[in-house]
Structure 1
Amino acid sequence: MQTVTLSIHRFDTVRARLWVLGQMALARLSLARMDDCQFWKLCGSGMGEGFTPIPNTAVWAILACWPDEDTARRRLSTAPVFRRWRARASESWTLFLHPTSARGTWSGQTPFRPGEDTQGPLAALTRATIRPRYLLPFWGKVPAISDVIGSDGNVAFKIGIGELPWLHQVTFSVWPDADSMADFARRDGPHARAIKAVRDGDWFSEELYARFRVIDTRGHWSDARPLPIGDPT
């Protein structure tokens, strides 16, 4: 079954942050040479709760798709690009994910291959390319959505990442189960109103929605609530 990894890294020093900026070009070469890496993206992040238009130069992520769990674990442990990022980072956390549903495209591709649903916390990923003329109204709504997500006691983890600031946005969140996620999505408020505005106005030129089961984690992240799985080492 396809396994997706999201590896998040925090770089505290100025030297480390300058290094990872260079990796936005250099790491592409390493990932492109991995024949068993089906899809990958290097992403920056936003400040605050993560869902903001202000870049966070300390937090960066690598998302990758692998043909199976064994390959994902082996590559994350041994591939030089992942080892270098962990060695430079002050904090690193990787989530191992099994896709359970997906619709839409990412850079013209369909990267996630859903399989049989399994047990474990549920993760949701939304990726969109925002039409330039809708940048201001979109980012005008995002801070309110961020506040609502951040105050929801069910959310174990949330982050906003993206390949290109402001235009390409990825939201990723982890929930204990499908009911708590569905309850948040149905609740009237900034999130529901923003979705309606996006649909009515055709704000996105490309979008993708996917759900995953979190099957394992490695490392630690101070902003995440403890999950009932994973190895902090």
Structure 2
Amino acid sequence: MIQVATLSLFRFDGFARRFSAFAMMGLARWPLSRLCGLEFWKLCGSGTGEGFTPRPNTAVWAILCVWADEQSARNTLQTARPFSWYRANASEHWTVYLRPTSSRGAWSGRNPFHVEDPDPTGPLTAALTRATLKPRILLRFWRRVPDISQMIGVNSDVLMKVGLGEVPFFHQITFSIWPDTGSMAAFARNPGPHSEAVKAVREGNWFREELYARFDVINETGHWEGKHPVVLKEGQDNR
């Protein structure tokens, strides 16, 4: 069996449904912990604008999951009560299926992504970063974010991007989808706000815990902002 990760995004309209989605950050924990085949999960909020900001976006919420295999992911996402509730109350929802190709670091004390085959099968590549920020560097870190957010926002290679978080200000997650590893590497390495921030992080030891992972994008379901964010490989379909 090949491990599969999923990221599900949900958009909620109106105060009542947004408040209910916020409440599910606590209420969904027990049922998620009992799902068969679910090896790791995180409930997340999102940021405003491009998503890479400390100001929360109460309309968009996310669930990141790691599954034993793709069939377990499909079956449980379709039938389990927490996911059914999110879909029924959201104005739109989207899930992307991912196969880990590299992962280093730790998340909540362990690396949840198991790499069976490090060679990307392409054509699309996803990148996920997750970090726990040290309190003493919060202001310095978030001062750099607007420039990075603007930089990725105007990058025509980025097919989809979102900024997420488990705990506002302290637990930061970025997720993006690229047409290939080359365009993703070019963004990370080219001179500018992003490379400068990476250098500052390394020199200043800003993170208490960090994880960097890459994935093959293997499928998607639903819509986001009224469209399919990614173009699937030949032979696959959007369900």
Superposed displacement of residue 95, structure 1:
0.3
8 Å CA contact 2:160, 2:230 repeated in 1: no
Aligned to 2:77: 76
Distance 2:228 2:161 in 1: 10
Superposed displacement of residue 224, structure 1:
6.9
Query: 1:198-223 deviations in whole A, cap 9, x for unaligned?
Result: 00000000000000011000000018
8 Å CA contact 1:101, 1:210 repeated in 2: yes
Matched, 1:48 2:61: no
- 1:145 maps to a residue whose letter is I
**Cα distance change, pair 140–224 in 1 and its aligned pair in 2 (3 A):** farther
**Cα distance change, pair 225–217 in 1 and its aligned pair in 2 (3 A):** closer
Aligned to 1:25: 26
| TM, length-normalised to structure 2 | 0.95
Q: Secondary structure of the equivalent of 1:102? A: strand
Aligned to 2:200: 197
What are the residue-to-residue correspondences of 1:1-233 with 2, within 5 Å? 1-116=2-117, 117-222=120-225, 226-229=229-232, 231-233=237-239
**Cα distance change, pair 134–225 in 1 and its aligned pair in 2 (3 A):** farther
Q: Secondary structure of the equivalent of 2:167? A: coil
Superposed displacement of residue 120, structure 1:
3.2
8 Å CA contact 1:220, 1:232 repeated in 2: no
Superposed displacement of residue 54, structure 1:
0.5
Gaps of 5+ in 1: none
- 2:160 maps to a residue whose letter is F
Distance 1:125 1:115 in 2: 18
- 1:2 maps to a residue whose letter is Q
Q: Secondary structure of the equivalent of 2:28? A: helix
Superposed displacement of residue 36, structure 1:
1.5
Superposed displacement of residue 11, structure 1:
0.5
* Percentage of identical aligned residues: 55
- The RMSD of aligned alpha carbons is 1.3
| TM, length-normalised to structure 1 | 0.97
8 Å CA contact 2:105, 2:210 repeated in 1: yes
**Cα distance change, pair 226–23 in 1 and its aligned pair in 2 (3 A):** closer
Query: 1:51-93 deviations in whole A, cap 9, x for unaligned?
Result: 0010000000000000111111111111111111011000100
Gaps of 5+ in 2: none
Aligned residues: 233
- 1:124 maps to a residue whose letter is A
Moved over 3 A (4+): 223-226, 230-233
8 Å CA contact 1:156, 1:224 repeated in 2: no
Q: Secondary structure of the equivalent of 2:194? A: helix
**Cα distance change, pair 224–185 in 1 and its aligned pair in 2 (3 A):** farther
- 1:107 maps to a residue whose letter is S
Query: 1:112-140 deviations in whole A, cap 9, x for unaligned?
Result: 00122322310000000000010000000
